[in-house]
């Protein structure tokens, strides 16, 4: 029996806990909110899932406490998918603590954790060499909670989006540099720099989402482009269009991967694209056993077997 405790009582924890409760072989504690922090983080469960925020700095002490109590940790914080891309000192410190305690830390989810990294690496398995990569997603954001939506850039006036983009309060979707570094690390490529763009998409009419309503003239979504350079040329391009009603723009949700190779290109496509809520919860639930079985330390999806529903 694997005991799993959840910290953060939002969508991901609730959905993932429901999946595990429906399976044999798991005992589930929580989800616990901020007021019951220690019941999750000090539980000494086999695995603690931390699904609270996106930022490494904000989860570092939570990861430390869970690891210190002897638990493996899976966190959906996007910056945790490759923590060295953000803060090598924090990553090294927690990696060392995990090794000392004999447990594993993993940043997991759909994106990062699958669509822009694990699946991309799998796709490179059928070519003899990789010249460059292009990964595109069109994502229906309507099912996200309001905190996440506002932070990524939805339901803002033009001024508030611009001010948030400048101050860092509006982030767009987080995790592209992390995914790119995960893929680069596995393929032995050194990324020289990553260029990034974030553009608003405004609503022409009122658009209801599950947790808020976007008014006409506010941001209904955004376009992001990340371009990682290696050997002086674009090596990995990522395009992400997120919108609360993509079909209103004439866009179908989509996941597409192009692997450009001297020996012949490969194109993989999922239509409709992967559902953000369902897929993220599934990846986290399907990561419990691989994290329990993994070598100690802070690992990434590049170093683990695929997530499978077991
Ligand atoms: N890697 C991926 O693919 C992936 C997939 C899904 C989600 N995520 C990320 O995972 C996080 C959780 O997602 P979600 O959809 O579950 O969000 P959510 O529905 O907004 O839930 C977040 C929960 O965590 C709590 N929380 C927020 N900040 C906290 C903190 N610093 N300490 C303790 N509790 C805190 C919130 O409580 P309050 O209401 O009290 O603030 C809320 O209960 C988000 O940052 C999201 O971007 C990543």
Distance of CA 12 from the midpoint of ligand 1 (Å): 7
Distance of CA 261 from the midpoint of ligand 1 (Å): 38
First-to-last alpha carbon distance for the chain, in angstroms, is 13
pLDDT confidence tier of residue 227, bands split at 50, 70 and 90: very high
Q: Average pLDDT, stretch 139-148?
A: 95
Instruction: Determine the pLDDT at residue 212.
Output: 95
CA–CA separation, 305 and 291 (whole Å): 10
pLDDT confidence tier of residue 45, bands split at 50, 70 and 90: very high
70: left (phi over 0), alpha (psi -120 to 50) or beta: left
pLDDT digits (tens, 9 = 90+) for 159-212: 999 999 999 999 999 999 999 999 999 999 999 999 999 999 999 999 999 999
Q: 267 pairs with which residues across the strands?
A: 258
Instruction: Determine the pLDDT at residue 43.
Output: 98
pLDDT confidence tier of residue 67, bands split at 50, 70 and 90: very high
CA–CA separation, 158 and 147 (whole Å): 18
**Is residue 195 packed enough to be buried (19+ CB in 10 Å), middle (13-18) or exposed (0-12)?**
exposed
Closest residue by Cα to residue 88 from 62, 55, 56, 49: 56
> Chain-wide mean pLDDT for the chain?
97
CA–CA separation, 253 and 249 (whole Å): 11
Instruction: Determine the pLDDT at residue 294.
Output: 98
Instruction: Determine the pLDDT at residue 280.
Output: 98
Phi first, then psi, for residue 269 (nearest 5°) are -145, 140
Distance of CA 8 from the midpoint of ligand 1 (Å): 6
Q: Are 156 and 89 in contact (CB under 8 A)?
A: no
pLDDT confidence tier of residue 285, bands split at 50, 70 and 90: very high
- pTM confidence score: 0.96
pLDDT confidence tier of residue 127, bands split at 50, 70 and 90: very high
In terms of DSSP H, where are the helices of the chain?
A: 11-21, 37-41, 56-68, 88-101, 118-124, 146-152, 158-167, 176-187, 276-285, 288-293
Distance of CA 50 from the midpoint of ligand 1 (Å): 8
Local structure of 228: helix, strand or coil: strand
pLDDT digits (tens, 9 = 90+) for 231-277: 999 999 999 999 999 998 899 999 999 999 999 999 999 999 999 99
**% of the chain with per-residue pLDDT over 70:** 100
Which residues line the pocket of ligand 1, CB cutoff 6 A? 8-13, 33-34, 51-54, 58, 76, 78, 109-113, 145, 147-148, 280
Shortest-distance Cα residue to atom 18 of ligand 1: 10
Phi first, then psi, for residue 48 (nearest 5°) are -110, 125
């Amino acid at each position: 029996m694997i005991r799993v405790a959840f910290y953060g009582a939002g969508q991901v924890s609730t959905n993932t806990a429901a999946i595990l409760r429906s399976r044999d072989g798991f005992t589930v504690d929580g989800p616990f909110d901020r007021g019951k922090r220690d019941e999750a983080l000090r539980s000494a469960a086999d695995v603690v899932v931390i699904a609270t925020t996106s930022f490494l700095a904000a989860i570092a002490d939570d990861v430390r406490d869970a690891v210190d109590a002897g638990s493996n940790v899976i966190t959906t914080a996007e910056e945790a998918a490759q923590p060295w891309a953000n803060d090598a000192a924090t990553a090294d410190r927690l990696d060392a603590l995990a090794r000392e305690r004999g447990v594993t830390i993993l940043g997991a989810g759909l994106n990062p954790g699958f669509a822009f990294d694990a699946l991309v690496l799998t796709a490179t398995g059928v070519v003899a060499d990789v010249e460059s990569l292009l990964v595109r997603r069109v994502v229906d954001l309507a099912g996200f909670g309001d905190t996440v939506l506002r932070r990524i850039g939805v339901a803002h006036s033009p001024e508030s989006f611009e001010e948030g983009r400048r101050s860092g309060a509006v982030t767009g979707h987080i995790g592209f540099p992390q995914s790119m570094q995960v893929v680069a690390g596995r393929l032995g490529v050194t990324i020289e720099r990553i260029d990034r763009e974030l553009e608003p998409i405004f609503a022409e009419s009122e658009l209801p989402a599950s947790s808020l309503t976007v008014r006409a003239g506010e941001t209904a979504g955004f376009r992001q482009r990340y371009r990682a350079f290696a050997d002086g040329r674009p090596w990995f391009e990522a395009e992400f269009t997120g919108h609360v009603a993509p079909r209103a723009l004439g866009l179908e949700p989509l996941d597409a991967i192009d692997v450009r190779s001297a020996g012949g290109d490969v194109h993989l496509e999922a239509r409709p694209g992967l559902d953000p809520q369902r897929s993220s919860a599934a990846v986290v639930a399907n990561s419990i056993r691989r994290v329990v079985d993994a070598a100690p330390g802070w690992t990434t999806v590049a170093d683990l077997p695929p997530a499978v529903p077991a």
